[in-house]
Structure 1
Amino acid sequence: MEFRARDYIAEEASSSLHRAPTDDHPLLLVRPSSNQVDVVELKRNDFDDPLRRQTANEKNLVADVQDAAHISKRGLFSYYYDPHISQKDWGSFKTSLMQKFPASKMVSVSSISGVIIKSAKVNEKSSTKVHIEELNDPQKFTENEVKVISRLEYVERLRELKDEIRHAWGTDDRVTSLKLSIKVAKLLMDNSVSEFYPTLFILVTEVMDMLGDMVWERIKTKAECDNNGTRICSLPDYFQSCDVCSDAKETCYNWFCKIGSIHELLPRIYLELAILHCSRFLNDQPFDSLHRLTMMMRGLADPLASAYCRVYMAHCALRLRPYDIGYLITCFRDFKIILSNIIFENDAKSGNSLENRKQLIGLLEPAIEWIMKCIFKGPCERQIEDVLMEFGLGTTPSDLCGNLKCISIVVHHLIEELPAEIVCSHVLEIIKLIEGSNDISYDQSLNFRLLGFKLYEVRPEGELLDSIIGEVLQVINEYDDLDSYLKVADAYFDIVLQCHMDSYLAMILDSISRRTCGRDINENELSSLQSIFIKLLAHHNNLDDLFVLKHFVEILDVLHGNARDVVNMHILRKATRNACICDPATIQFLFEISQALHDGIDISNMRDDHQQAVRLITHFVEKVDYGAALERHLTFLLECRGAFGRINDLKEALVHSSNYLAVKAIKDANKFSGFVKSCIAFSEVTIPSVSANMMQMNLYIETAEVALLAGLVSHADGLVDAAVSCLRDLVQADGSQVAIDIDGIALLMQRLFSLLVVLPGNPERGAVYIPKSIISFYDDKPWITPRMRTRFLCSIVSLSATLSQEKLPYHVNNEEVPGNDIIFFGDPSYHQELISISRSVLEKLIDNIQLEKHSAARGNIALEACNCILSSFKASEETLLLCSKLIEIAKSCSNPSDKYLRSTINVFDKYVSPLITKIEINITKLNILSVNCHSHHGHPLLSTMEMCTL
C-alpha cells in the first residue's frame, strides 16, 4: 500500500471553471445574431422585475383605466352595491360590536321580554282565534314585574325561538312564524340593561334576516313556479316588477299588510325592514319606503332603540339595487339632534350624570360609525364632494350638518371614512370643525390625531403644509394633558421629519421636555413616546445626528420599563447597521443601553424579545472597532465579559473579537509579541465558560489557528489538546443530546484534522498521536452511527495521505513555524506510521459500513469511502480489492443509474487502468515463457488465467 503523490496546484487549475468578466446585465436577453441587448416585455402580470421601471405609457394606461372606472359609476343617489361585500362588512360589524360590548353574566327581563321566560310558551289556538289574535302579544307579567336570568339562558332561549320560527315555517304555519318574530322584535323595546342592548340587537336581527330570507324565497317561488311547484321561469338578478306574476305580487302585498297592522311601532319597523328587499316584487322604486320608515323612526323616543333601528335599516337597504343614500343623510341629521340633546343635557334637571351620558354615547358610537360607513362606501371621489355638500362641508365650515353645533364624535367618523385626498383638499375647514367640536362625545385630541394620519397618506406640500402643522401645534400647545399632546404630536411626527421641518421638530421636542420634566409617565404616554423615538430613529441614518438634537437624551431618560427596552433595541439595531462603531462616546452610550437590556433578560425563560436583545447586544460587541487602539479594544472585551456574563452567545463573539484583534496585531510588528499573547490568554480563559461543548471545540480550534499564525506553537498544542478533550466529552456523553448533530461533530473533526496538517508534529509523541487518541474513544460507543464513524475513518485516511506528501497543500504564514513536510522529510518511520494507521482504519471500514441498517445510507457511505481510497492511494491489488467490495455494496443498495454511483465507477475504471496495463505486460511475459517451456520440455501451453493465478 502506497500513498498517491498529489500536485494540488495543478489539480485546482484543472477543476476550476472558466471565468470571464461581463459588462451586460445578467437578467437581460441577448440577440443571438448580435451583441445588442433587448428587454423582453413579458405578458404575465404576476412577474415583478425590481430592476425594471414603469414606463410613461404604462402609467398613462393605469390612469386611463382608473378614469374609466370612475366614469362607469352611477349618480350620487343611485349606484350599485355588491351584496357579497355588504354581507362581509355586516359580519365584521357584528363581530366588532360583540367584542366591544361583551354581555354581562346576568340580564334583567321585564314584562316586555316575557317571551324569553321558558315557561311562557305559545298557546295552541283554533285557526279562527289565530287570525283574530295573530298580531296581539298577550302580557305574561305585570308592567312592574322584572326577572333576572343569565346571559347564556337568554341567548339559548333566543336560539330556541329561532328554531321554532324555522320549524313553524317548514310546516306551513307561517302565522306562528310571524307571531314569534314579532315577539322577538319586541325584545328591542327593552333597554333595562343598556350594556346588553348591542348584543341583543345582533341576536334579534339574525332572526329578522332569517324571516326576510324565508319570505323572499316564498314570493320568488310563487313568481317562478306554478301551483304544482313546477318551475316555469327564472327571474333575473335585476328583475323589474313587471316581470313578476300577479299571484306573487298578491302574496308580497299581503305580507306588507300584515306587518303594517302590528300595533307597536318598533316591531312594525323591524319586520318591514326585514322584508324590505321583497318590495322589489311590487315596486321598481323601493326607496320611497326608506324615506317613510326614516320619518317613522322619529317616533322612537329611546336613543338606543332609535339609533340601532337606523343601523338595521342601513343594513337592509344594502340589498336594494340601485342603492340610495339620501335617507342616510336624513338619519344623520336626526343623529345630531339625538346627540346634541344628550351632550348638552342639564345634569341637575335630568338627573343623568356625566358618566352615564358618556356611557350612552359610547353605546351609540357603533351606530354612527356604521351609518357613516354606508354613506361613503359606494360613491366615487367626485361624488363624495357632492355628499360633503349635503353635510355642509365646503359651504359653512363652522357647521357640519345644518345649523346645529358640530359634534366631536360625528367629526371623527366623518374624517375616518373620507378618502385621504378629500381630507387634504378640505383640511383647513376640517381643522376648524375639530376646533369647534370640543365636547364630551369624543376627545378632541383624537380627532387631530386621526387627521394627522390621514394627511400622512397624501402629504400636502408647500405653504399649505406649513399652515396645517402650525395651526395644529398652536392648538395642542394649549393642552395641559401630556397624553393628549403626545398622541397628536406622534400623528404629525412623520410629516415633520420627512419634510425636514426642523423648527417644528425642535418645538415638539421642547414641549415634550417641558411637560415630562419631574413627573411620572403612565403607560399611554410611554406608548406615544416610544412611537416618537422609533420614528426619530427610522428617519436618521446616523446616531450622531440624533445625539445633537436638543432634549433627545433628556427625554430618553424619562422612558422606563418595556417602552425603554423597545427603544433601546431600536437604537442598537440602528447602530449595528453601519460598518463599525468607532466613536468612544457612542460606544459608551451603547454599552450602557446594552447593560440595561441585559439586566432585564431572564435567561431561564427566554422570550422572543429577550432573544432579540441578546442578538443585538452580541452584534453591538462585534461591531465595535477602536482602530489602532488595540489595547483599549481588548479592555472593552474584558468589560463586556464582566457585564454580559450571562449571555452564552456573547462569549463566543468575545472570543472571535479577541482572535480578530490578535490577527490584526500580528500584521503590526510593533504590537506583535505581548499583545497577541494577551489576546490568546483572554480566549483561553473565556472559552471554558461557554456551555456548549461543540462551540467550545470550535473556539479552541480557531484560537489554535491564531496561535500558530503568531508562531506560538506551544499555545497551539495546548489548545488542540483542549479541543480533543471537548471532542472526547461529546463522544463519551449519553448520545441522546449529540446524536441529532452528527454532521456538526463530523465537520468539527474535519476542521481539527485540517489544522493538524500544519501543526508541527511532536517527535516524542508521534506524528499521528492525536488521530490515534481519537480512535481510542470512538471505537466503543454504540450510539455513534456507522455513517458518522465512516466519515471519521475517512478523515483519518485523508489526513494521513496529505501528511505523506513531499509538499503540503498549505502552510502557516509564519516562517518560524515549519511544516511537517520539512520536519519529517526523508524519515521512513514517519511514512510507515502514516501507512500503519491508514491500514488499521481500512480494516475496519467494510465491517462498519455493513452495520448501516438503511440501504440508501449504506450505499452512500460506501461510495464516500471508495472515493476517499481512490484519491488517497496508488492502485494496488489491496486497494483494488477493497474498492471493488465497496462498489458492490453500493450497487446492491442504489439504482444502477444513480449519478453518484456512475461517477464513482468511472473514477474507479481510470484508477485501475494502470494496474490492468501492468497485468497485461506480465501476461505477455508469461506467454513467452510458456512457449519456451513447451518447445524445450514438451509441456502443454498453460492458459493465461492459470499463469495469472500462479
Structure 2
Amino acid sequence: MPSCYPSVYVLVAQVLDTFGNLVTQRIQNTAAEKSYVVSVLLQKGIDAADDLIPSESVEACYNWFLKISSICELIPRVCIELSLLNCFRFMAKKARVVSEEVIRRLAMQIRGIADPLVAAHLRWYLCTRAMVALVRPGWATKSGLDQAVIDTLEALEHLDPALLEKLQNRHNMGRMDYLDLFIPALQWQMDTILRYGDANWPNYQPLLRNVVSIIVENLNSPACLLLCVWRAFPAAVLLSCYSVEELLSITFRSFPSRLVSRLKLMEALCLSLADLSEVPLARAQRLAFLKAAWDYVEEERCRRSSVGTEGVALPAPKQGLVGELIGVCGAMMQFCANHVGFKQVNVFLGLVRDIICDVKMLENEKSLEAVKASLFGMLSALVSVVNPLLLLESEHVVTLLQQLASGDRRRLMFVFLRQFVSGALGAGSSFSPFAMKTVFRLCKIFHDDLINVVSFDELQEGTKVVEKVFLLLLKRVGSLEDALQLMCDARHHLSRFDSIKIISVNRALGLAGRFAAGCAEGKKHDETRALLMFSIVTIPAVTDLIQRFHLLALSSGMALRSGMIVIGEAALEFALEGLETYRSSCSGKDETRKRSQEESDIADVAVHLLELGVAAPAKGEHLYAVRRLLNWSAGFDWMPCSIPCVHISLSALRLMTRALQGRFLSFPFCQTEHYGKDPAFVESCVALSLEATHQLQRWIEASCHVVSTKSELATDLSTTAIEIFETLAIFDNKDPPLGPALTTLVCAAWRAANAWAILSGSLEVSRHILRTARFVQEVVGTSVFEEILLH
C-alpha cells in the first residue's frame, strides 16, 4: 500500500485532531484557573483579549512550540504544528498569532516533503486546520493556498520512475491508479480556495489557466485531475477562460482512469453549466453543446454494448458504464431543464429508459442495485429542478420509477407528490388528461409501496399527501362521468386508504345533492342514481366502523331526499344491522378513555339515524327504525353513568314530540309528510316517547347509586340532568298518556341535578342550574314552573 493512502490519512488526521484538542483544552483550563473572566469567555465560546490571557498560559503555549521546533524530522514537525494551530491565539503577547503568514510558511515547509502523496495530504490537513483557525474573509488567497495547489500538480510532473515501477510491481498500480489517490486532497484544496478565497471571481482566471495548462500539457490530461477542476471552479469562471467547445474538447481528449471516466468528467461539466442562472450562450450554441454530448454518449454506449451477450453476466466495466450513462444523462437533463427546454429532457428520459431495458439482462444482483441507485440519484435531482407538471407529460417517468427499489421509489414519490400539491399547481395551472392518468398511476405505485412501511408517522404523511393529490384531481375533472370513473379507480387501486374512500363517498353524495332539486322535475335522475349506488357499494369497504355508519346515514338521507326510496331504505337497513351487531373493541392502556370516546362516537351515529328513522317511509310499521334504535340503546353495554346513551333517548324524545306537533326535519323527505295525520303514526310516536322517557328515568335512578361512591362524576351528571330538565320542561304536550310521564321525569331530573351539584361542590354548576331555572320560568310561565317544582 502506498504511503499516506487516503484511508490512512483519515486515521492520522483523527489522531492529530485529538492531540491538538487535548493540548488546547489543557491550556484553556490553565487560563480559566488563573482568570475568572477568561473562564466565562471560554465557556461562551468567545476568545479572550490579549491582555486577559494569563502569562502562565502564554508561557505554557510558547513552550509547546519551542518543543515543536526541536523536532528534526520535517513531517512530524509540520504535523504537530498543524494540530496545534488553534493554540496560536494564546500567544499574542509573544507576537506570534495565527495569520495568513503562518499558513504560507507551513505551506512552504511542505514543499520539502519528497513523497507527493504525503505532501498532498498534508496540504489537505493544512486547509482543514486553517478553516478552524482563520475567520477573516479572503484568507485562503492571502495565505497562498492557490500556490499550494500548483505545488501539488508540479510534484506530479516529476514523479520518480522508480516509484512508479515499485507501485506497479508491488501493488499492481499504474500511473493513473496512483493519480486517483490525489482526488480527495486536490479537491479539498481547490474547494477551500474557491470558498474562502477572494470574492472577486475574475481573480481566479490566472489560477484556472495555470492549473488546466499543467494538467493538460504536462500531465497528459488525466480525467481524475480534471474532475477536481470541473467540480471546484464555477461555470462562470470556466466560461470566462474557455469556450464550450474547448471545454468539451478537453473532456473528450482526457485520459480516463479506473475511478474517473470521460463520462463522469462530462457529467461534472454539465452539472457545472446547469447551475448557472443564465448561460452566456445563444440557443444554437446550447443545442450544439447538447448534440456533441449526445453523440459522445451514443458512441460510448454503442462501443461498449457489444461487450457481453444475452444470457451472459456482463463484465464489471460494462456494469459501471450503465451507472455512468445514467449519471451523464441526468446531468444533461438538468442542463436542458434550466437552459433549453423540457422537450430535450424528455428525449434523455427516453434514452435512460432504453439503457435500463438493456440492463435487464444483468444477472448480478449487486450490479442491478448499483444501477438502481444511480437511477434514483438522477431522478431525485431531476425532480428538484423540473416542474412536476412537465414531468407528468412524459411517457417515460412511470416506467423509470418502477425500476427503482421500493424504499427509494417511495421516498422519491413522496417528494414528487408533495411538490405537485404545494407548489406546482397555481391558480391558473392546467394539465392534460394524460397528466391526470400519470399522477394517478404514481399514487397507485406509492400506495402499493406503503405496504412495507413500518413507521406510523411515515404512513400517515404518505396517506395525507395522496389525499391532497386525489382532491386536486377531483377538482380538475371535466364531467360527472370522469369524476365517477376516477372515484371508482381510486376505490379499486387505493383500497388501503380509508380516507380516499371517504372522500369519494362524500364527493359523490355532494354531487347527488346538487342534482336533488332537478330530480323532482325528472332531470339528472340517472346521474343521481349512479352516484348513490357508487356510495352504497363503496361504503362497506371502509374499515372504520364509525365512519361507515356515518356514511350510510348520509347516503340514506340523500337517497330519501332525492326520491330514491329503495336505496335510502337499503342504506338505513345496512346501518341498523351494523349498529345492532357492534361491540366495543377497546382494551389495553387508557381503556376507560378510549371506551368513553367510542361510546360518544357511536351515540352520534345513533342520533343521526334517529332523524332518518322519524321521516323514513313506513315498512310494516311506523317508526320501525326509531324502535330498533331505542331497543339497541337499551341493550347496549354502556359504561356506568354513560352520558352518550342519554343523548340518544333525549334526541328520540325531541324528535317524537316534533313529529306529534306536525314538525319534521328542516329539509323535506319525499313521501313522508302525510304520516303526521295518521293515527297509527301518532300512536307509534307516543309509545316510543314513553319508551325514551322510561330509559331516561332508569338512567337517573341507576346513576344516583354510582355518584354516591364516585363524586368526581357529579359535575358531568349534574350538567346532563339539567339538560334533561330544560328540554322536557318546555315541551307543550298535554297528551294524557305522555304528559304524566314527562312531568315525573322532569321532576326527577330537577332533583338529581340539584343533588349532584351539591356533591360536585362546583359554583359554576350551581350558577348554570339557576340560569336554566330562570329561562324555563320565562318560557313556560311562573305558575307552570311552580307546579313542576311542587310536584
Q: Same fold (TM over 0.5)?
A: yes
Query: Paired residues, what number?
Result: 710
User: Which sits farther off after the overlay, 655-664 or 764-773?
Assistant: 655-664
The answer as to whether partners of 2:550 and 2:605 remain within 8 angstroms in 1 is yes
Q: 1:205 aligns with which of 17, 21, 44?
A: 17
1:796–1:838: 8 Å Cα contact kept in structure 2?
yes
| 1:411/1:447 contact within 8 Å kept | yes
Partner of 2:70: 261
Letter in 2 for 1:200: V
Are residues 611 and 538 of structure 1, via their aligned partners in 2, closer, same or farther at CA, if it must alter by over 3 Å?
farther
- Which of 609, 612, 633 pairs up with 1:752? 609
**Residue in 2 aligned with 1:793?**
649
Structure 1 residue 336, shift from structure 2 partner:
1.7
CA distance in 1, matches of 2:355, 2:134: 54
Deviations 1:605-635 (A, max 9, x none): 78877777777777787756987675x9768
Higher mean Cα deviation, 577-586 or 491-500?
Answer: 577-586
The runs of 5 or more residues in structure 1 that have no matched partner are 1-107, 109-189, 226-234, 923-947
Give runs of aligned pairs for residues 239-388 of structure 1, distance below 5 A.
Answer: 239=50, 255-275=64-84, 277=88, 280-283=92-95, 290-317=103-130, 318-319=132-133, 325-339=142-156, 350-351=168-169, 364-379=182-197, 381-382=199-200, 385-386=202-203, 388=204
Structure 2 letter corresponding to 1:795: S
Change (3 A) 1:381 1:236: closer
- Among residues 535, 551, 557, which one is paired with 1:705 in the alignment? 557
- Pairing 1:836–2:686 present: no
Distance 1:533 1:377 in 2: 26
Q: Deviations over 1:368-411 (max 9, x none)?
A: 344345434544523x543x256244x78645799766665555
Deviation at 1:911, TM superposition (A): 1.0
3-state SS of paired residue (2:582):
helix
Q: Does 1:882 align with 2:749?
A: yes
Q: Pairwise CA RMSD of aligned residues?
A: 5.4
Aligned partner of 2:582 in structure 1 is: 730
Q: Tell me if 1:906 matches 2:758.
A: no
Letter of the aligned partner of 2:74 in structure 1?
A: L
5 Å matches for 1:454-533?
Answer: 458-460=276-278, 463=281, 467=285, 470-471=288-289, 474-475=292-293, 477-479=295-297, 480=300, 481-494=321-334, 496-497=336-337, 499=339, 501=341, 504-505=344-345, 508-509=348-349, 511-512=351-352, 515=355, 518-520=358-360, 522-528=371-377, 530-531=379-380
Measure the CA separation in 2 of the matches of 1:477 and 1:609: 43
Per-residue CA deviation, residues 899-939 of structure 1 (Å, 9 max, x unaligned), is x86456324312124666327999xxxxxxxxxxxxxxxxx
**Residue pair 1:398, 1:436 contacting (<8 A) in 2 also:** no
Output the CA distance in 2 between the equivalents of 1:734 and 1:321: 62
Q: What is the CA-CA distance between 1:730 and the residue it aligns to?
A: 2.5
Gaps of 5+ in 2: 37-45, 301-320, 361-367, 732-741
Query: CA 1:860 to 1:303, structure 2 compared with 1: closer, same or farther past 3 Å?
Result: farther
Match of 2:599 in 1: 742
Larger radius of gyration between Structure 1 and Structure 2: 1
1:341–1:514 CA distance, 2 compared to 1 (3 A): farther
- Can you list the C-alpha shifts for 1:530-588, whole angstroms capped at 9, x where unaligned? 34764687343695xx15xxx64796598455366677778878599799999887777
Please tell me whether the aligned partners of residues 806 and 821 of structure 1 are also in contact (alpha carbons under 8 angstroms): yes
Alpha-carbon separation, structure 1, partners of 2:51 and 2:262:
48
Whether 1:540 and 2:389 are equivalent positions in the alignment is yes
| Between structures 1 and 2, the one with greater helix share | 2
- Equivalent residues in 2 for 1:819-830 (5 A)? 820-821=675-676, 823=678, 829-830=683-684
Preserved contact between residue 376 and residue 404 of structure 2 (Cα < 8 Å): no
Looking at both structures, which has the greater relative contact order when contacts are Cα pairs under 8 Å and sequence separation is at least 6?
A: 1
Change (3 A) 1:274 1:351: same
The 1-side partners of 2:191 and 2:75 are apart by 24
Any conservation in 2 of the 1:867–1:904 contact (CA below 8 Å)? no
Q: 1:306 to 1:914 in 2, by over 3 A?
A: closer
Number of the residue aligned with 1:818: 673
8 Å contact 2:278–2:339 — kept in the other structure?
A: no
The answer as to whether partners of 1:314 and 1:374 remain within 8 angstroms in 2 is: yes
1:529 to 1:280, Cα distance in 2 relative to 1, 3 A: closer
Following the alignment from structure 1 to structure 2, what is the Cα–Cα distance between the partners of residues 263 and 831? 110
CA contact under 8 A between 2:338 and 2:385: conserved in structure 1?
Answer: no
Q: Contact conserved, 2:350 with 2:396, CA < 8 A, in 1?
A: no
Q: CA deviation at 1:203?
A: 1.7
1:494, 1:910 → 2: CA distance?
Answer: 73
Alpha-carbon displacement from aligned partner over 1:658-713 (angstroms, at most 9, x marks no partner)? 65676577546667667766665665555445444323322321221233124343
* SS at 1:786 equivalent: coil
Q: Secondary structure at the match of 1:730?
A: coil
Distance 1:311 1:536 in 2: 33
1:207 deviates by 1.5
When normalised by structure 2's length, the TM-score is: 0.71
2:653–2:692 contact (8 Å) kept in structure 1: yes
Q: Is the 8 A contact 2:515 2:528 kept in 1?
A: yes
CA change 1:499–1:794 in 2 (3 A) is: farther
Q: Deviations over 1:274-295 (max 9, x none)?
A: 4552664444576655444434
**Aligned-partner residue type, residue 376 of structure 2:** S
Cα distance between partner residues in 1 of 2:353 and 2:322? 10
- Work out whether residues 496 and 504 of structure 1, in 8 Å CA contact, stay in contact via their aligned partners in 2: yes
The sequence identity of aligned pairs, in percent, is 16
TM-score of the superposed pair, with normalisation by structure 1? 0.60
**1:699/1:367 Cα in 2 relative to 1: closer, same or farther (>3 Å)?**
same
Q: Give the match for residue 695 of structure 1.
A: 547
2:364 alignment partner in structure 1: none
State the secondary structure of the residue aligned to 1:810: coil
Cα displacement (A) at 1:217: 7.6
Where 1:381 maps in the other structure, the secondary structure is: coil
Q: Which amino acid aligns with 1:755?
A: L
* Distance change (3 Å), C-alpha of 1:661 and 1:557: same
Question: For residue 628 of structure 2, what is the aligned residue in structure 1?
Answer: 770
SS in 2 for 1:299: coil
The residue number in structure 1 matching 2:313 is none
